[in-house]
């Protein structure tokens, strides 16, 4: 598992993802549950992408971004969940240093993409509700593509650099990662050197790529809510809130759990809490998103109904 030793520092070549090893008596049950969740995530998000592509009523910027978001969720969950399923099935928890670094890098890049894509979706709703006359001009197809591409690529260079910095640390004899994937907090815990500089870098990156988009979302929704409350009719206000409620629920689910994980002090980290929070924003939120968007969106429900009637 380990390479050459230098004093009390060892060059770790492999890690062990401990995952849910403390629940050894229900490994098969957990494999079944997480397999079902993975199938639901892939099927639900694929269905949303298909609906937004096929139904003419969904050829709008809002649904273009929703299709991007669904694709992102499938990629995001595929970085962590298949590996966890393999570990549960085979009980072989070993992961190479390169595979661990690759998993972390893609996880961070896709997490950054989610933050910015949620901010872009909030901006889309802001323009639609606060400046409806300018909406077709502002959110033209070229602008939509630029915003989507920007969301996908903006965090890549910094997150690659952050991953390289984390894995430049010297790790002690312990190589057991008390987590179900290679995340920053449990990896840093294995280091046997001063990690304050690395933790500061993680904090700055989290503020830049999570807190800034979140502040933009809050600003957009403060303007949106202010505009909706000024509408003269109750039906108009209800329609305005229903248009934004799905996105707002997803924002709260994702940002609250992710922020608690990455921005709370190191001293308050515990493996159990970290795993629970990580399960929430890496697996449960991608599973709930298609349900939230489909059940709370009349256009999506109508498109799904038309598709089912065609099949029948």
Q: Which of 50-59, 74-83, 119-128, 283-292 has the lowest mean pLDDT?
A: 283-292
Q: What's the rounded mean pLDDT across residues 276-283?
A: 81
pLDDT band at 267 (very low <50, low <70, confident <90, very high): low
Region 229-247 average pLDDT = 76
Q: How far apart are the first and last CA of the chain?
A: 56
State both tokens at 155. 């965090």
More confident residue, 261 or 87: 87
- Please determine, for residue 17, whether its predicted confidence score (pLDDT) is greater than 80: yes
Model confidence at 139, pLDDT cuts 50, 70, 90, reads very high
22-61 per-position pLDDT tens digit: 777 888 898 999 999 999 999 999 999 998 998 888 899 9
Confidence category of residue 263, pLDDT binned at 50, 70, 90 = low
- Given this model, what pLDDT does residue 12 score? 66
pTM for the model? 0.87
Phi-psi region of 6 (alpha: psi -120 to 50; beta: other; left: phi over 0): beta
% of the chain exceeding 70 in pLDDT: 90
Please check whether residue 95 is in contact with residue 19, taking contact to mean a CB–CB distance below 8 angstroms: no
User: Which domains does the chain possess?
Assistant: 2-311 (1.20.1070.10)
Cα separation, 132 vs 126, whole angstroms: 9
Encode burial over 241-268: b for 16+ CB neighbours within 10 A, e otherwise: eebbebbbebbebbbebbbebbeeeeee
pLDDT digits (tens, 9 = 90+) for 67-100: 999 999 999 999 999 999 998 898 888 899 899 9
* pLDDT exceeds cutoff 50 at 192: yes
Using the predicted structure, report yes or no on whether residue 246 has a pLDDT greater than 80.
no
When pLDDT is averaged across residues 209-227 and rounded to a whole number, the result is 89
Stronger pLDDT, 148 or 268, i.e. the higher one: 148
How far apart, in whole angstroms, are the C-alpha atoms of residue 14 and residue 69?
Answer: 33
């Amino acid at each position: 598992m380990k390479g050459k030793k230098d004093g009390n520092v060892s060059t770790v070549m492999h890690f062990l993802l401990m995952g849910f090893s403390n629940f050894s008596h229900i490994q098969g049950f957990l494999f079944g549950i997480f397999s079902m969740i993975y199938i639901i995530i892939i099927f639900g998000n694929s269905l949303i992408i298909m609906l937004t592509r096929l139904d003419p009523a969904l050829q709008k910027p809002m649904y273009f971004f929703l299709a991007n978001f669904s694709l992102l969720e499938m990629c995001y969950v595929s970085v962590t969940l298949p590996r966890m399923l393999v570990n549960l099935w085979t009980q072989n928890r070993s992961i190479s240093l390169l595979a661990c670094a690759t998993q972390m890098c893609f996880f961070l890049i896709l997490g950054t993409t989610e933050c910015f894509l949620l901010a872009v979706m909030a901006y889309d709703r802001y323009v639609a509700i606060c400046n409806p006359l300018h909406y077709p001009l502002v959110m033209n197809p070229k602008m939509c593509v630029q915003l989507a591409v920007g969301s996908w690529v903006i965090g890549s260079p910094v997150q690659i650099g952050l991953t390289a910095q984390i894995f430049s640390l010297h790790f002690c004899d312990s190589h057991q990662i008390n987590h179900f994937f290679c995340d920053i907090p449990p990896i840093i815990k294995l280091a046997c050197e001063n990690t304050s500089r690395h933790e500061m870098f993680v904090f700055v990156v989290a503020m830049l790529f999570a807190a800034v988009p979140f502040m933009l979302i809050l600003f957009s929704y403060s303007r949106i809510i202010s505009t909706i409350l000024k509408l003269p009719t109750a039906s108009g206000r209800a329609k305005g809130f229903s248009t934004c409620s799905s996105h707002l629920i997803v924002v709260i689910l994702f940002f609250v759990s992710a922020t608690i994980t990455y921005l709370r002090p190191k001293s308050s980290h515990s493996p159990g809490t970290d795993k629970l929070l990580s399960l929430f924003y890496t697996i449960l939120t991608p599973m709930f998103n298609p349900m939230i968007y489909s059940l709370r969106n009349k256009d999506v429900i109508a498109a799904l109904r038309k598709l089912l009637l065609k099949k029948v």
